[in-house]
Amino acid sequence: MGVISTSSRGAEARPVMARVPVVKTAILGAVVLLLAMLVVQPFGWVVFNSFHDDATGAWTLNNYARVVQSADLIEPLVNSLLLATATAVIAVGIGVPLAWLVSRTDMPFRRSIRVLTLTAFVTPSFIGATGWILLAAPNSGWLNVLWRSLAGADGGTPLNIYSMAGAVFVCGIYTVPYSFTMVSSALDEMAVELEDAATTLGCGVLRTMLSITIPLAAPAVIASFILSFIQGLTLFGVPAFLLTPTGIPVVTTKLAEFYQLFPPEIYLAAAYCMPLLLVTGGLFWMRRRYLGRKQYVTISGKTRAGRQIRLGGWRWPALLFALLMPMTAVFLPYAALLLVSLTRAWGQGLSWENLSLYWYWWAIFGNSETHTAIVNSLVYSTLAATLCVALGTLVAYIVERRLMTGASLLGAVATVPIVIPGIVLSVGFFAAYTRAPFNLYGTPLLLIAAFAATFLPIAYSHGGSILKGIGPELERAARSLGAGEARTFLSITIPLMGGGLVSGWFLVFIPIIRELSVAVFLITPKTNVMTTLIYNAKDGGNYEAVCAMSVLLLLITLLLVAIARPLAGLTGARRTSRKTAEAAGVPS
């Protein structure tokens, strides 16, 4: 794109060279400044800390030496990589076909599947893990008990959730929504003739999906693989609940130990995050090498109406597959949570006398903290998600369209936060935002900024994969008609991103509302949020309250989604007027 220069000192002409475009420069400047404040600063503190000694505060390389040399620290890293890889494989392996079924085919109940996937997304993983402990703990898990009642007392324990397999399973099913949402919004926007080209060559439906549709959605598939991988790497709740009992340490549980020790080894924890950064950096590098050589424009200026692929006899088997995820991630665990939340004392088991709405009454009316926390959660998440999507989309646009030198550096910066586990990031945010000149401590802005920064990578990478699918000539056409870059972005690019932006907003909003660890050092009594309250109740062993509040959190978020969903439909990129039938008769 145009490198704009003002130095047209050449005397040979009256060069009408570009003035500095004010709006564009202002926006670029604001983006760079925001990134510096939101991301570079806190991350800088994490790096700075990693080079200091916890006890003396002196400069040292010792933290890194320990990370590299101590077997005690290497084992969790290996376990984490294993967990993350398996999580990503499951998330993509289930999420991508699911996305295809929902956005491309005539499978029944597609809308319901979308909603159910969001439901799984809303669930904080530690709540999912709690649900699955109730279901599949070796002795007491209801599924195991059911099995023994069918197969006899010596039926054994078919399911053991306290295992690597169990942790992979739970991490996987709660990460599927990431890949599902990212890939389905890419598929929604894809022109159907790309698939038609393959089917006319005698390609079967399945073959077309595998060899044309999915590879065309490659930017989204790869982005969702990386996000799922990072998710597996940075989740705390699931490994803490499911792997600690079997003695398998992972990075996040090890980090929690650093904070739990006395004196806490906060600076060592900072250094311990750097290998994660390295691994994820490697993944992004591989992505760039793979995607760099290909073109993935799926929305060009030449459009055809969308069309569904007919599954014929496979419609119902497909639905069965599609129900797998909601079944395991929503129905079963929430059934368990709901039952516990409805008991007055859950250890007494299920009986009519024990049935009670007490804990809901307690959560809604009996506890003033819950009120504030619910309102805070909603307000912070809404504002943070909006800020995050706005900034992430802008950065993605700058990077994809190379609007400035060093644009890819901006992209790298926007990707860093998610790789750092929340508890370490929390310390970075603390240092970055509580000092002068920000002095945000104790204000809602602190949490909003921290949440927005933490999930910026999702907004950025989602925005990037949508933009990769929008042909640049659609924007160039507007430029050549006299629209400046800012105007083009607003009236062409943003509407074309349309539905994808809305799904991106949810992709950020939901993780924010369920985020726990980043908030840990940043909340104050006035700025408490739902998840910290739920975790406190869990910490205090109040299971009935944990379950009741989880169900409430789910209901509130679903309500919001229900309100906002029509919005996504309104902004769908591929429109048709009422004259479609007439148009069908037009020869081409």
105 or 517: whose CB is closer to another protein? 517
User: Smallest gap, in angstroms, from Cβ of residue 430 to another protein?
Assistant: 5
Would you tell me how many other CB atoms lie within 10 Å of the CB of residue 66?
A: 15
268, 51 contact by CB (below 8 A): no
First to last CA, the chain: 35
Between residues 318 and 424, which has the closer beta carbon with respect to another protein? 424
Whose Cβ is closer to another protein: residue 289's or residue 575's? 575
Task: State the minimum distance, in angstroms, from the CB of residue 344 to another protein.
Answer: 7
- Residue 18 beta carbon to another protein: minimum distance, rounded to whole angstroms: 5
Residue 328 DSSP class = I
CA dist 514 → 114, 391, 451, 502, 521 (Å) = 19, 21, 11, 19, 16
94 CB contacts (<8 Å, ≥6 apart)? 172, 173, 176, 179, 324, 325
Dihedral sign of CA atoms 72, 75, 79, 80 in order: positive
- Nearer CB in complex with another protein: 4/567: 4
Residues paired with residue 386 on neighbouring β-strands, in sequence order: none
Q: Look at residues 513, 521, 519, 527 and name the one whose alpha carbon lies nearest to residue 557.
A: 513
**Smallest distance from the beta carbon of 586 to another protein, in angstroms?**
5
Q: Distance between CA 468 and CA 461 in Å, rounded?
A: 10
Under 8 Å CB-to-CB from 491, ≥6 apart: which residues? 478, 483
Round to whole Å and give the CA distance between 248 and 87: 16
Q: How far is the CB of 272 from another protein (least distance, A)?
A: 15
Least distance from another protein to the Cβ atom of residue 283, Å: 26
- CA-atom Rg of the chain in angstroms: 25
- Which of 334, 359 has the CB closer to another protein? 359
Q: Which is nearer to another protein, 126 or 178 (CB)?
A: 126
Nearest-approach distance from CB 537 to another protein, in angstroms: 7
Asked if 336 contacts 131 with a C-beta cutoff of 8 angstroms, the reply is yes
Judged by beta carbon, residue 8 or residue 211, the one nearer another protein is 8
Residue 88 Cβ, how far from another protein at the closest point, in Å? Answer: 26
Q: How far is the CB of 469 from another protein (least distance, A)?
A: 12
Number of Cβ within 10 Å of residue 142's Cβ equals: 15
Query: CB-wise, 277 or 474, nearer to another protein?
Result: 474
Please, what is the minimum distance in Å from the beta carbon of residue 528 to another protein?
8
CA distance 383 to 360: 27
Residue tagged 């906060």 (tokens): 266
* DSSP line for 434-493: HSTTT--TTSHHHHHHHHHHHTHHHHHHHHHHHHHTB-HHHHHHHHHTT--HHHHIIIII
Closer to another protein by Cβ: residue 52 or 460: 52
Measured from the CB atom, the residue of 229 and 258 that comes closer to another protein is: 258
490-495's contacts with Cβ under 8 Å and 24+ in sequence apart are 493/397, 493/467, 494/393, 495/571, 495/573
* Cβ-proximal residues to 392 (8 Å cutoff; 6+ apart), any chain: 414, 456, 457, 458, 459, 460, 461, 462, 463, 504, 508
Give the nearer residue to another protein in terms of CB position, either 107 or 336: 336
CB of 176 to another protein, least distance (A): 26
